[in-house]
Amino acid sequence: MIRNANRTVPAALLALLTVALAGERDPDTSEAPKLTVGTKVGQRIPHFKTELWDVSGEKPRKSAFDSHKSAKATAFVFMSKTCPYCRQYEKRLAQMSKTYGKQGLDFVMVYPTRATPAGQKIAYHKKAGFKAPMVNDKDASIAKLLNITKTPEIVLVAKDGKIVFRGGIDDNPRSESQVKKAYLKTACDDLVAGRKVSVTSAPLYG
């Protein structure tokens, strides 16, 4: 039973009640603004489900992937076995996927070319030396969803699903030794170091 309900609550008691109530908030409730879903830098990557293929063995091993349930930073690299620019960047991409994979940044090679059979994509992936998983985007649905216009094109996504970089790899597809602006590498270095990504876009070749 509550007595003397008409009495004024002392200021000290009111402060204690306020703190207690604040502590009972839903722990899953976040006051941070939610990301708008979209394809631009600063937006949350659109939702899609697909299969990641590990083709490092004799037979491909497949695992389910959900773009809105991934808890790891990911670089989606859109590739084509028939693109000369993709071939020029093979060694660089293979090394980057290996280097950053050890630092918690996954690389995923996405092949949206409709005219290329899955077997040829797998053979190219292996020959190029890619250890990262691949996606057979056979109907180009993921490429369309992310507004991919050329290959190679990269969409770099942070752990929270926010797009932090999109564009090309560097400023010299012909010669790695003559690269002056390593766009993707700079963005990846910032992301794995926990810094604000300083380079968020880059020109595309292809």
Order across the sheet with 49-54: list the strands: 61-66, 49-54, 134-136, 105-111, 73-78, 153-157, 163-167, 201-202
Quote the pLDDT of residue 206.
Answer: 76
Band of residue 2 on the pLDDT scale cut at 50, 70, 90? very low
> Is 39 inside any structural domain?
yes
- pLDDT tens digits along 89-141: 999 999 999 999 999 999 999 999 888 999 999 999 999 999 999 999 999 99
Quote the pLDDT of residue 109.
Answer: 98
* CATH number reported for the structural domain that contains residue 164 in this entry: 3.40.30.10
Quote the pLDDT of residue 10.
Answer: 52
> Is 65 inside any structural domain?
yes
Residue type, 161: G
> Is 8 inside any structural domain?
no
Band of residue 185 on the pLDDT scale cut at 50, 70, 90? very high
Quote the pLDDT of residue 176.
Answer: 97
- pLDDT tens digits along 150-183: 999 999 999 999 999 999 999 999 999 999 999 9
Number of structural domains, the chain? 1
In a 3-state reduction of DSSP, which class is residue 136? strand
Quote the pLDDT of residue 14.
Answer: 42
- pLDDT tens digits along 22-71: 443 344 444 456 899 999 999 999 999 999 999 988 889 999 999 999 99
> Is 163 inside any structural domain?
yes
Structural domain of residue 79, as residue ranges?
A: 33-202
> Is 85 inside any structural domain?
yes
